[in-house]
Structure 1
Amino acid sequence: MPVGDDCAAIPDGDGYLLLAIEGFMNAFVAGDPWFAGWCGVMVNASDIAAMGGRPMAVVDAVWADGEAGAKPVLDGMAAASAAFGIPVVGGHTNIRHAQSQLSVAILGRAKRLLTSFDAQPGQTLIAAIDLRGRYREPFSNWEAATDAPPARLRGDLELLPEIAEAGLSRAAKDISQGGVIGTAAMLAECSRVGLRLDPDAVPRPGGVDLARWLLTFPSFGYLLAADPGDTPALIARFTARGISAAAIGTVTANRQVIIARKNEQETIWDFARQPLLGCAVPEVAA
């Protein structure tokens, strides 16, 4: 697998081991330590699911100023571990540090991969987002998990490997810190394609400002590319579980990310002029 996907994919028998790691902003860990611990498990599980996998176990590294500083972070991780059914099997703790820091790694396994490198021109881009939540201020994090039944959380994550194994998609990415638009641009760059996006088509909670929503990090949110004929069946998988899903754009061959809204359009990134992450697969000379 090229560098730049949500996880490293390591061939393993009839499938792949998936390995990923997340580090968290110090301000986030200090400001909302319990939720930071929860996210240590949740966002890693999302990375595994985004590649068509099922999470197996996590390890963590926690730095804090005393046991009192470490406890809420570890409590949040324990709560998420129980809710998602993903064991915390080890890690490292330093309680003699001036500030709170957190990093969490995860191991998973996939039978068939979803990747950031397989979107194809002519496909439809689909956004699937759990809108049954709220903002966890002051950050633009849409939180739809901490109060959800564990069985629902686990079943929702299972959708992604099921979609991969059914052959409904080969390209996906979880919506993360870049929001819908930024994540879509990263997917386009890795796949060496362009996108024409309709922001008004993105599933959005009532009363939430569109500009903020497009930059939001949802607790459950994925972008998937699918052939037009498979799009209705893929969307139906999500809506059957109460998750909002819709076609939000088209994959193009021109290597530009274009926002098209009503009678207006704007090119927000042109990969021919400037890379975004620099993780696209190099072109092979003919």
Structure 2
Amino acid sequence: MARPALSDAAFAHIISRLRSSSGLTAKADIAVAAARLGLGGQGSGAQGVVPVGDDCAAIPDGDGYLLLAIEGFMNEFVVGDPWFAGWCGVMVNLSDIAAMGGRPLAVVDAVWAKGEDGAAPVLEGLRAASARFGVPIVGGHTNLATDRGQLSVAVLGRAKKLLTSFDARPGETLIAAIDLRGRYREPFSNWEAATDAPAARLRGDLEILPMIAEAGLSRAAKDISQGGLVGTAAMLAECSGVGVEIDLASVPAPDGVDPARWLTSFPSYGYLLTATATDVPAILAAFHGRGIAAASIGTVTAGRRVVAVSGAARATIWDFGRRSLLGCGPAFPQLDEAAALAVAEEAL
């Protein structure tokens, strides 16, 4: 059930936080790397099938696709919560595989640490997640002679039918599905809803996404990442060459949590999907059937803007006519200087 519209002051505060979110603005680093590598745009994926900028690389293989995902972790996170960093190394990659309609096959890791004692909690977290999710660690790289802890983890998976960041269409409904059965893992804005969950529940919850893909209920999805729900919606919109309008009152949220923090949080289990009105009920039922909060939270538009809505209040969070974010979406004509200035003034 949607919550009441925010007050003007509360809405303005949230908009300010969203626009300045480091989790959102840091995604621009992807554009720098993609440009240096000569990647980006609709034709740059493996054999042109899925462009660079998605949750995984998708490689055609027989009657399906091999999926390859990788995550690197912030040094302060690895140092501050090394066991959970190891756990997340597996968990977040599995979420990326699921977001593209896939099932995981195997994990590899790269661990740097100051001695065996420094590596131990990270490796223990990796091992615990591997066992709980039922995905084997099959190798990797280790260096125990560094001055700080660092971690990177990659996962291989397979999909029969893809969900991508490039297939949202104007007129579709935007859906959010988030496991609210958790709490914050302080001091970071990580909503932790997995470490205490039974193995069967974790594995079954991940199975929802490939089921949706194979049933043809959706073509577009994205794992809610460090950019939070709104930042993830922005990446999905840019890759698909569309816009989104998000009704903040409709976003599933835990009781008592600061809305501005929640919208920029990284949930253990959280996805955005788009679907036609006909298919929305079946998607919501699939998540609700496993105790996961899911709701229609907005609309995909042709406007190429990420817009937050609360009652009659509206505000633009990001305008792709003014500037790109990932730099991996379809090419559009750029605004001239006067038009760009008008957009900027409207957004303020």
Structure 1 length-normalised TM: 0.98
- One-letter identity of the residue aligned with 1:144: A
Q: Which deviates more from structure 2 when the two are superposed, residues 254-263 or residues 184-193?
A: 254-263
User: C-alpha deviations, 1:64-114, integer Å up to 9, x for none?
Assistant: 000000000000000000000000000011000000000001100000000
2:56 corresponds to which residue?
7
Partner residue, 1:115:
164
Instruction: Say whether residues 1:191 and 2:240 are aligned partners.
Output: yes
1:194-205 equivalence runs, <5 A: 194-205=243-254
Q: 3-state DSSP class of the match of 1:108? A: strand
Unaligned runs of 5+ in 1: none
**What are the within-5 Å matches in structure 2 for residues 23-172 of structure 1?**
23-172=72-221
Aligned equivalents of 1:114, 1:70: Cα separation in 2: 36
Conserved? CA contact 1:179–1:215, under 8 Å: yes
CA distance in 2, matches of 1:117, 1:164: 14
Instruction: Indicate whether 1:249 and 2:298 are aligned.
Output: yes
C-alpha distance in 2, partners of 1:283/1:151? 45
Deviates more, 1:179-188 or 1:275-284: 275-284
Q: Please give the alpha-carbon distance, in whole angstroms, between the structure 2 residues aligned to 1:226 and 1:107.
A: 27
Q: After superposition, what is the alpha-carbon deviation per residue over 1:230-270, rounded to whole angstroms, capped at 9, x for unaligned?
A: 00110000000000000000000111111111111001111
Larger radius of gyration: 2
Q: Is the 8 A contact 1:19 1:106 kept in 2?
A: yes
Return the alpha-carbon distance in structure 1 between the equivalents of residues 327 and 55 of structure 2.
15
RMSD, aligned CA: 0.9
Q: Is the 8 A contact 1:2 1:281 kept in 2?
A: no
CA distance in 2, matches of 1:98, 1:271: 41
1:214-233 equivalent positions in 2, closer than 5 A: 214-233=263-282
Deviations 1:187-223 (A, max 9, x none): 0000000011111111000011111000000000000
Cross-structure match for 2:336: none
Going by fraction, where is strand more abundant, 1 or 2?
1
Instruction: Tell whether 2:284 aligns with 1:239.
Output: no
One-letter amino acid of the structure 2 residue matched with residue 214 of structure 1: L
Percent of counterpart pairs with the same letter? Answer: 74
In 1, distance between residues paired with 2:157 and 2:71?
Answer: 14
> What is the CA distance between 1:281 and its match in structure 2?
2.5
Measured in 2, the distance between the counterparts of 1:268 and 1:176 equals 17
The answer on 1:22 being equivalent to 2:71 is yes
CA deviation after TM superposition for structure 1 residue 283, in Å:
5.6
Which 5+ residue runs of structure 2 have no aligned equivalent?
A: 1-49, 334-348
Which contiguous aligned blocks of 4+ residues in structure 1 show a shift greater than 3 angstroms? none
Scaled by the length of structure 2, what TM-score is found? 0.81
Tell me the distance in 2 between the aligned counterparts of 1:249 and 1:203: 12
Figure out how many residues of one structure are paired with residues of the other and give that number: 284
